Amino acid sequence: MIARTYLVRGAVLWLLARILISAVMSLAEFNPLTLAARSSVVIILVSTLLGFAQTARLREFVLLGNLGVSRSALALYFALPALAGELIVSLAGAAFA
């Protein structure tokens, strides 16, 4: 149950980060679907860090520690949806390029 909650939260944060980065890239007249691999890694890291920031803001670290969820598992919960999303976006960019 906890994994599903944090996976959904990670997906929402990745989607918001991706929309904001795509908007900035569109304003700079770059195609947001054709990113380098390094840029995808940066987007994954940003969305993972946003997940940690939101968890800290909601003061959930003590609860998660009491439930036995480590910080590395939490990072995985935030990174997996971002990794899957970036893979889908890069495949779509390659298909439509």
Q: What is the pLDDT of residue 97?
A: 64
pLDDT of residue 74: 94
Global pTM reads 0.85
Phi-psi sector, 53: left (phi>0), alpha (psi -120 to 50), beta: alpha
pLDDT of residue 5: 93
Contact 86, 40 (CB under 8 A): yes
Residue 60's domain comprises 2-96
Q: Is the pLDDT of residue 96 over 80?
A: no
> What is the domain count for the chain?
1
In tens, the pLDDT along 40-72 reads: 888 999 999 999 999 999 999 999 999 999 999
Closest CA to 12 of 78, 58, 91: 78
Helices (H), the chain: 2-27, 37-57, 61-66, 71-96
Q: What is the pLDDT of residues 4-37, one digit of tens each?
A: 999 999 999 999 998 988 888 888 888 777 767 7
